[in-house]
Copies of this chain bind each other. A is one copy, B any other.
Amino acid sequence: MQVALVLYPHFTMLDIVGPFQVLGDNPECQIRFVASSPGQIADHTGHTGLVASSLEEVPRPDVVVVPGGFHDTQLDRDVVRWLRDVHETTTWTTSVCTGSIYLAAAGILSGLDATTHWARKDRLEQLGARYVPERVVERGKIITAAGVSSGIDMGLVLVERLFGRDYAELVQLAIEYDPQPPFDAGSPTKARKDIVDFARVLMADTLSDDAVADVVAETKGAH
């Protein structure tokens, strides 16, 4: 079973490392990090990154996970095109955080329920999906997850679908996923209003509308 973990410049580390950590120890999973330019891909902070192979090396993955990113001004059009192609034959196509913006740009979420980071729901809807404010949204073979840390929850749901409930609980125990956040501020319905407002400004969508429209049109035409 080939698992493609997609990277692009300015991806967010925890978005992809959450699902990676719940899948990565299973010997049935052939893990492949992929990106449009092979080599070291810098994360959104610029402090670190991960090494990827090229998208072309993984033309028929069984499972795809697309992480979110931050500070992006445009979408990686090779990734969008590749997603559009490989989705036809995947068993599971999944995303964390604004990774769902990539799925939507590839036309995969048209008319479907999906989720994303709470601060980016407008972009998701602009691209044709129906935003659902849930942590993990499973529709057919597509699973989308909310912001950043939700990739751990999504990963466990995915592992259950792939390997069964007992194995998923074993993984949860192995990573001691018994979360005890020190505060109760992890969603816009729970955080203090002034903190939500400030976060919304800090995390404002930096994608250019024109650039997004271009990628959608071009990758659709190329298909």
Contact = CB atoms under 8 A, between A and B. Distances in A.
Contacts of A47: 20, 24, 31, 33
A179 B176 CA distance: 13
A187 to B, nearest CB: 4
Interface in A10-59: 12-14, 17-18, 20-21, 24-25, 31, 33, 40, 45, 47-51
Contacts of A163: none
A191 B179 contact: no
Contact of A153 (B147, B180, B187, B203): B180
Contact of A170 (B17, B160, B198): B198
Contact of A187 (B20, B147, B178, B185): B178
Copies of the chain in the assembly: 2
Given A17-B13, A17-B14, A20-B48, A172 B179 contact: no
Contact of A177 (B156, B160, B181, B196): B181
Quick one: which of A13, A150, A177 has the most chain B CB within 10 A? A177
Interface of A: 12-14, 17-18, 20-21, 24-25, 31, 33, 40, 45, 47-51, 97, 117-118, 135-136, 146-150, 152-153, 156-157, 160, 165-166, 168-170, 172-183, 185-188, 190-192, 195-196, 198-199, 202-203
- The list of the 9 closest CB pairs from A to B, nearest first, reads A147-B176, A178-B186, A169-B185, A179-B179, A148-B175, A14-B21, A178-B187, A31-B47, A177-B186
